[in-house]
Structure formats: C-alpha cells, structure tokens
C-alpha cells in the first residue's frame, strides 16, 4: 500500500512550496491518486485550477500527512477525479467554469458557478465570449406517481444568503433535494491575482463574513509559510484568541437559531444575548465586532489592552454562568428533542467519504480537527478536547457545538493566562521571485484551506476552499426521507456558507 510519501516520489517536486510538498505528476499518477481517494484511505482536501494546471490537495488522515499533486493540462483537459470520487464533482465543474479545463469522463458536466450572466466564459482562463443565450439549467429529475416539486430561492424568506433549492416530495416526504448555488459568486480568486498581500488578506477576510477571522488566519499562515516567516509569540496567541471568540460567537448564535427553527424561540433569544455579549467584548477589545482585518501576514494589526482582556473575561464569566442552564433546557425539552433527534441523519461513512469538517463531521464520527491533527501553534501547547458523536442527527450537531462552546471557553482562558508581552507584528519580506504556501486552519464550521503563489511579493494566484464545499452535498443526502418541514432544521444545523462556497 503506497503512502502519500510514495506518491510524492512519483512526481517532480516543486521547490519553494511550504510546508507540505507539491509534486507535478503525469496523468496516470493523477488517476491513481483519484482511485485511492475513492478507496477511502486518503481524503480530498481541495481541487483547484490555474489557466493550464490542476491541483489536488490530499490528506492521509492517519498520518496527518498532506501533499499537493499537480497535473499540467496543455490540451485543456485532465482525467476526472469525480468519476471515482464524487466529492470532487462540484469542484471540477467549477474548474471548468472558471478556467475552461474539462474533467475527462466526469459524470456531471453541467456548469456550477457560471449562470451565464458574467458576459464572459472562463474568466480566469482563456476568456471567450459568453453564450448568446442562457440555456436552462438541467435540474435532475425524480419521477413517480404523486411526486411534486417545490422550488425555493434564490431569495429566501428569512435574513439569509441566496441559493436555490429544488425539492421533489412525495406528500410531505422529501424524495430528492437538489441545490443550485453560485448566486453570490464575486470572483474573489480573480481579484486576488496581482493583488498585494495587504489587499489579499482584506479580500480573504470578506470571503465568508462569519469566518472572517478563520480566513484571514489561513491566508496569513499560507503567506507566512510561503515566505518562511515566523510571527511573534504574542501574535500567535492573539490569533488563537480571535479564532476562539469567533467560534464561540457563531456556535452560540447557531445553537439558538437551530432551536428557533424548531419553534423554540426562547433558546434563540437567550443564545442571541450571549452571542451579542461576545461581539461587544470583541468590539471593545479589537475595535471591530466581527474582528475583521485584525489578523494580517506577519502578525496582528491590533494589540489588546488590559481593558480588552478584562472585557473578554467578563463576557466569558457571564456565559459560564448562563450557558449551562440553557444546555439543560435544551436537554430537557421534549418538544425540542422531538424535532432534533433522528432528524437529518448523516451516516459516518458518508461523512468520511466527503471528509466533512467541523461539527458536521464530528457529529458523524469523523474526529478531524485541524487544530489537533495539524497542531499549528499555539494549539500545540493548549489543552482541549475534540468532541465526537456518531449519531449524525441534528441533535448530535447541536451537542457538538455545545461541547465546542465549552472547549472554546477553556481555550480562551488558557490563552489569556499565557499571553506573553512583546511585539505583535513582524516585517513581511518580499521573498524570492516565486514562493508557494498553503495553510489549513480550523474555522468554526470546519477546515479552511488557502493555497497561494507569490511572485516578487505579489499574489500571482490564490485559491481558498471553504469547508462548505464538502458539506453542501451532504445536506442533499441527509434530507432524504425527512419531511419538508424539517429542512430548515437540517439546513441550520449544517449552516453551510453560501458566500464562502460561491466565492
């Protein structure tokens, strides 16, 4: 059985790629990697394009080894990975939409992000004129007696992001859900090309607003990996502080919102208050409620004062005081449990196949957590558990979040206790002509991947992969055989990002 290391020996190693190796392989090694993914020994971390190259990031979960394999596609096509390993399908459709490279033998060749509204095709590759007339998107069909379709979106009934859901139902029971995304595609990959690191991290922080810290963190770490740059210790700890505050705020908001979708507005109200307390503390400590633009390559742009530490401590104390009662309320309310237990079940094998990150994976037996598995600092010196469950239902996803709230509270406490004095930022060198770096950071909804290539200090190419890419398709799977009315509950318990996915 080959290991990832063996695989990388099959190719030509690219210098200046940190911290994991990148190798250029031929089509047969590429396909071999795809079939190994299909056998489940490795996980697909990412699949992205460039004008004439495709890249695939692979992880060996056991050994926590990561490698990037690249394939040049002079004839504008590459062997499909999705043909063997379905999690790659939407990524391949995207590579085609953006770069015009086709996945040979792919079972699904419909466009994905391209709705034929950009006025151009293959905007990041060799651009050609858009099709003269938009062809209707071929939604998949489900046929049978008494089946009916329910179209929803892109504009939804609540304050949420836009996307289209097409339900096929038999009575109340969902037979098939098909998503159509791409409505919030902003062309961020394209905007990154030629940008300075400063603009790059600004854009990264606006890829998915609820994960602004995670994205700035991953982007900065990727840039620092490329430049082989160490950041001051105080900044290392402050970054983790920001990341845990973000996780805390989002989990608190979502726990309440999930309960709200089960008509239990009381939890929503109380959790909303706790979430607000975190945002206010963050605003007082870092000057921005969502902690935007604080993490930058080289360190952090804003230091925290003694008052800031105090405010955060007070917010934590308040949560410690109030949160347990809310958890108990959740646990003891039969009408709520009735909606969440056994609803929207994601089976562990499917979570594994899709390498589902965050609470979605961890509620379905997949324990991967980038903080633990890839031990980036300062998590190598902090104590925390990675909770996992196997039930995979809405209830399990709520419980994982509850446990993660507790873990984040403890982590923040540890960080505040250890926060060293000293500088918070270091000079960012221009680096050599070409430098490549990659980072995987645990955001609140899972692992955020950023890969970039710098040329003379400017971004030549940057790819960011949201955890939602591998979570959205699973939502389609878990809703089957549930009733239509449980969709909001399933959806909220996943809380996939539209903007992070559509980019």
Partner 1 sequence: MRKLLFESVFRRPLTERAPLPDDAAVAELATALGKAARRRLGRSLSIREVDAGSCNGCELEIHALNNAYYDVERFGLRFVASPRHADVLMVTGPVTKNMREALERTYHATPNPKWVVAVGDCARNGGCFAGSYAVVGGVSEVVPVDLHIPGCPPAPTAMLQGLLALFERADAGAVTS
The binding site for partner 1 (CB under 8 A) comprises: 115, 117-120, 123, 154-155, 157-162, 182-188, 190-191, 199, 202-203, 206-210, 212, 253, 266, 269-270, 272-273, 275-276, 279, 283, 289-290, 292, 322, 325-326, 328-329, 332-333, 497-499
CB of 279 to ligand SF4, least distance (A): 13
CB-wise, 30 or 217, nearer to ligand SF4? 217
Binding-site partner at residue 158 among ligand SF4, partner 1, none, CB < 5 to 8 Å by type: partner 1
- Separation between Cα atoms, residue 217 and residue 448, nearest integer Å: 9
Is the torsion defined by CA of 360, 366, 368, 372 positive or negative? positive
The answer to whether 40 touches 352, Cβ cutoff 8 Å, is yes
Give me the residues paired with residue 153 across strands: none
24 burial level (CB within 10 Å; 0-12, 13-18, 19+) = middle
Q: Does residue 209 touch ligand SF4 according to CB under 6 A?
A: yes
Contacts of residue 137, defined as CB under 8 A and 6 or more positions apart, other chains included, come to 110, 111, 115, 180
CB-wise, 351 or 452, nearer to partner 1? 452
CB-wise, 44 or 188, nearer to ligand SF4? 188
CB of 205 to ligand SF4, least distance (A): 8
CB-wise, 205 or 357, nearer to ligand SF4? 205
Binding-site partner at residue 455 among ligand SF4, partner 1, none, CB < 5 to 8 Å by type: none
Task: Count Cβ neighbours within 10 Å for each residue of 243-257 and write b for 16 or more, e otherwise.
Answer: bbbbbbbbbbbbbbb
CB-wise, 37 or 184, nearer to partner 1? 184
Binding-site partner at residue 159 among partner 1, ligand SF4, none, CB < 5 to 8 Å by type: partner 1
Binding-site partner at residue 273 among ligand SF4, partner 1, none, CB < 5 to 8 Å by type: partner 1
Q: Which two tokens stand for residue 116?
A: 């034929």
CB of 500 to ligand SF4, least distance (A): 12
Q: Which two tokens stand for residue 379?
A: 């998590």
**Nearest Cα residue to 58 out of 500, 464, 449, 469:** 449
Q: Does residue 206 touch ligand SF4 according to CB under 6 A?
A: yes
Q: Does residue 347 touch ligand SF4 according to CB under 6 A?
A: no
CB of 421 to partner 1, least distance (A): 31
CB of 356 to partner 1, least distance (A): 20
Residues 166-205 that bind ligand SF4 (CB under 6 A): none
CB-wise, 259 or 389, nearer to partner 1? 259
Give me the residues paired with residue 148 across strands: 169
Q: Does residue 162 touch ligand SF4 according to CB under 6 A?
A: no
CB of 212 to ligand SF4, least distance (A): 8
CB-wise, 54 or 188, nearer to ligand SF4? 188
Query: Cβ–Cβ contacts within 10 Å for residue 84, how many?
Result: 17
Contacts of residue 471, defined as CB under 8 A and 6 or more positions apart, other chains included, come to 354, 356, 357, 358, 360, 445, 446, 494, 496
377 burial level (CB within 10 Å; 0-12, 13-18, 19+) = middle
CB-wise, 211 or 495, nearer to ligand SF4? 211
Beta strands in 122-181 (DSSP E): 128-129, 147-152, 164-170, 173-180
Q: Which residues bind ligand SF4 (CB under 6 A)?
A: 206, 209
């Amino acid at each position: 059985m080959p290991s990832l290391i063996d695989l990388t020996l099959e190719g030509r190693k690219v210098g200046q790629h940190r911290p994991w190796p990148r190798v250029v392989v031929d089509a047969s090694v590429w396909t071999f990697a795809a079939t190994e993914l299909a056998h489940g020994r490795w996980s697909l971390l990412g699949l992205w394009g460039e004008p004439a190259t495709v890249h695939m990031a692979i992880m060996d979960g056991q050994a926590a080894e990561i490698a990037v394999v690249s394939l040049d596609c002079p004839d504008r096509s590459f062997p499909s990975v999705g043909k063997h390993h379905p999690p790659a399908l939407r990524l391949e459709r995207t590579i085609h939409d953006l770069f015009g490279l086709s996945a040979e033998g792919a079972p699904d060749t419909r466009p994905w992000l391209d709705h034929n509204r950009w006025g151009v095709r293959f905007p990041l590759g060799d651009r050609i004129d858009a099709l003269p007339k938009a062809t209707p998107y071929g939604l998949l069909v489900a046929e049978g007696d008494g089946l009916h379709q329910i179209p929803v979106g892109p504009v939804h009934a609540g304050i949420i992001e836009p996307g289209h859901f097409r339900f096929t139902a038999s009575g109340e029971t969902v037979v098939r859900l098909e998503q159509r995304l791409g409505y919030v595609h902003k062309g961020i990959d394209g905007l990154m090309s030629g940008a300075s690191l400063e603009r790059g991290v600004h854009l990264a922080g606006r890829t998915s607003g609820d994960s602004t810290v995670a994205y700035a963190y991953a982007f900065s770490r990727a840039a620092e990996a490329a430049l082989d740059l160490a950041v001051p210790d105080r900044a290392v700890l402050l970054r983790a502080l920001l990341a845990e505050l973000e996780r805390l705020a989002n989990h608190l908001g979502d726990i309440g919102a999930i309960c709200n979708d089960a008509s239990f507005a009381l939890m929503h109200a109380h959790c909303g208050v706790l979430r607000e307390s975190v945002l206010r503390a963050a605003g007082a400590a870092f000057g921005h409620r969502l902690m935007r633009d604080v993490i930058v390559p080289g360190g952090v742009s804003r230091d925290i004062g003694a008052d800031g530490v105090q405010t955060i401590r007070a917010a934590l104390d308040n949560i410690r005081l109030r949160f347990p009662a809310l958890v108990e309320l959740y646990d003891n309310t039969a009408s709520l449990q009735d909606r969440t237990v056994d609803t929207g079940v994601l089976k562990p094998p499917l979570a594994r196949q899709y390498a589902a990150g965050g609470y979605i994976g961890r509620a379905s037996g997949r324990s991967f957590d980038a903080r633990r598995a890839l031990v980036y600092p300062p998590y190598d010196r902090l104590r925390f558990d990675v909770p996992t469950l196997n039930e995979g239902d809405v209830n399990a996803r709520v419980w994982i979040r509850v446990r993660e709230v507790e873990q984040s509270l403890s982590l923040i406490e540890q960080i505040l206790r250890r926060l060293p004095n000293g500088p918070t930022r270091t000079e960012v060198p221009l680096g050599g002509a070409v430098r490549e770096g990659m980072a995987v950071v645990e955001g609140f909804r899972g692992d955020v991947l950023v890969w970039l290539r710098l040329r003379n200090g400017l971004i030549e190419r940057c790819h960011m992969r949201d955890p939602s890419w591998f979570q959205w398709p699973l939502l389609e799977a878990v809703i089957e055989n549930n009733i239509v009315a449980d969709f909001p509950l399933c959806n909220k318990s996943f809380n996939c990002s539209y903007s992070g996915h559509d980019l």
